Amino acid sequence: MCDRERGWSEVPLVKTWQLIAGSAVAGLALSAVTVAAAGPWDSGQRKAERDRAASWSGTGGADHAAGGLPRTAPSAPGVLAGLAPRTANAAPAGGGTLAGALAPLLADPALGTVRGASVVDTATGQVLYESGAGEAMTPASTVKIATASAALAALGPEHRIRTTVTPGAGPGEIVLVGGGDPSLTAKKKSPAGSGGSLVALAADTAQALKAAGTDTVTLGYDDSLYTGAVLHPLNDNTNIAPVTALTADEGRPDDSTSGPVARTGDPSKDTARAFAALLRDRGIKVGGEPAKAKAPAGAQPLATTLSTPLAGLVERMLTNSDNDIAEALARQTALAAGQPASFEGAEKAVTEKLASLGLDLTGSRFADGSGLNRADRLSTRHLTALLAKAADPRHPELRPVLTGLPVAGFTGTLRARNTATSPAAGLVRAKTGTLNGVNSLAGTVVDPSGRLLAFAFLASNTPDKAAAEKGLDKLAAAVAATP
């Protein structure tokens, strides 16, 4: 079903796009089919948090009949041991053991010549392990954690981006106006789930035009919401499309929804052409080729279509490491802050929004939203601070940052990593990062004692991608397995 808004009324909000994370805390006894069916809020992490909360209380989802520590509720079988209440200032259990487990793994030559590591308890803020944690390095795609946090803080998880059609400046003219929706699709059924639909927008536009007695139009398109450079400095169009405010299907020529693929060189014009064809299919004659135009100031929309809610965009971006969504969210953050929707405006807006959350960003830089730019800078301490902020009950608007992280062995960019018998499988949720010579991993895990930990590992000058990823996976598995 498409998400759309006719000019005079808005359809109800649909549910946030569901990450296929799964009930990880039930352990590897659950099948991959079960994992694929469950939503992000039913993940292993969330169940473990729920079990932990229940153990702090005399009531809740646990069986207290046997006395002593509560047993896990039948609806949420757990792999974690019973949890004893801890005070916020209690000494971190196993801190020395964690250092003993991580230090030799961090020394792996596969992790290059410059490395950083940070592990913190999200509930108390206690640092459990650090090595080179203050050094700002190229984070690759783990910078998407910052992009997501800034966008959610600026706009809220239910925000939706509009694509509209308005009357043009002259008789019989209409203008397709881009709002920067990265979920916009020209396909009858979007392969990526709910989002803005050119098909629905064309149907509503045709209906409005016919009701006004119009069956012939000229079509303009307005992508002026974004400014500055259209091409990413990387200038590699297999990883990202030109960044415009009017792009359908991420400029992809096929049915893919993630991963490298050759993109269109002019997403705005191609989107307008697709819209013109959809109007013709619905009995509206469209004269000539669509041309760039400016929607008249104050023009009331003939029809509107709405994006996936921001929470769903964040989850999709993090799960698949989607560069196109990342750059769109960075520009939406800029617009919310009154900055130009450009690479430069987004950098300023993201920095200011994250600082407003009370984060120390010394040494950081957000040259883009996707992490493709090697000028980006983050430290592992920055990354664990961002993850801890997303886990903070005082910031529920940031929770999609956690629920969108890929699940080791099951989803997204971690589907084929830390699989099978790895202690991280189904328990580690983390954002990957990869550039030539740069590898990173940052996320969360519930450790054997029940603590929700945030971890980050950055590696530079790595000689081999596959070997570096294995090294990072061993580090994450050690955090998952060490009490």
| C-alpha 401: how far from chain center | 7
DSSP 257: -
Q: Is the pLDDT of residue 481 over 80?
A: yes
Q: Is the pLDDT of residue 317 over 90?
A: yes
Token pair listed for 230? 């259209």
Residues 83 and 450 sit within 8 Å (Cβ to Cβ): yes
| C-alpha 305: how far from chain center | 21
- DSSP helix/strand/coil, 60: coil
Of the listed ranges 34-48, 198-212, 237-251, the least confidently predicted one is 34-48
Give the pLDDT band (50/70/90) at residue 65. very low
- pLDDT average, residue stretch 92-99: 64
Res 476: pLDDT: 98
Active site residues: 141, 144, 321
The number of beta carbons lying within 10 Å of the beta carbon of residue 136 is 19
Distance CA 312, CA 305 (A): 16
Bridge-based pairing of strands 216-222 and 173-177 is parallel
Residues 215 and 174 sit within 8 Å (Cβ to Cβ): no
> What beta strand segments (E) does 32-145 contain?
62-63, 71-72, 114-121, 127-131
DSSP 22: -
Percent of the chain with pLDDT over 70: 80
Token pair listed for 462? 């790595």
Residues 256 and 213 sit within 8 Å (Cβ to Cβ): no
Helix (H) or strand (E) holding 336: helix 323-336
Residues 186 and 271 sit within 8 Å (Cβ to Cβ): yes
Alpha helices in 111-222 (DSSP H): 144-155, 198-211
- pLDDT average, residue stretch 414-424: 96
Res 236: pLDDT: 73
Closest CA to 168 of 297, 306, 7: 297
Q: What integer best gives the mean pLDDT of the chain?
A: 84
Q: Please give the full DSSP string across 66-83, using - where no structure is assigned.
A: T-SSPEEPTTS--SSPP-
| C-alpha 453: how far from chain center | 20
Q: If you search the block for the tokens 């927008």, which residue do you land on?
A: 201
Roughly how many angstroms between the first and final C-alpha of the chain, as a whole number? 46
Q: Please give the full DSSP string across 438-470, using - where no structure is assigned.
A: EEEEEEEEE-TTS-EEEEEEEEES-S-HHHHHH
DSSP 196: B
Closest CA to 129 of 115, 140, 144, 118: 118
- Convert the pLDDT of each residue in 248-278 to its tens digit: 999 999 988 888 999 999 999 999 999 999 9
- Convert the pLDDT of each residue in 8-36 to its tens digit: 333 333 333 333 333 333 333 333 333 33
- DSSP helix/strand/coil, 13: coil
- DSSP helix/strand/coil, 116: strand
- Convert the pLDDT of each residue in 147-187 to its tens digit: 999 999 999 999 999 999 999 999 999 999 999 999 999 99
DSSP bridge partners of 351: none
DSSP bridge partners of 454: 120, 444
DSSP bridge partners of 435: 438
Distance CA 132, CA 190 (A): 44
Of the listed ranges 29-38, 89-98, 302-311, the least confidently predicted one is 29-38
32's CB contacts (< 8 A; 6+ apart) are 22, 410
What is the Rg, in whole angstroms, of the alpha carbon atoms belonging to the chain? 24
Res 13: pLDDT: 34
Distance CA 323, CA 328 (A): 9
For 251, phi then psi, to 5°, come to: 70, 20
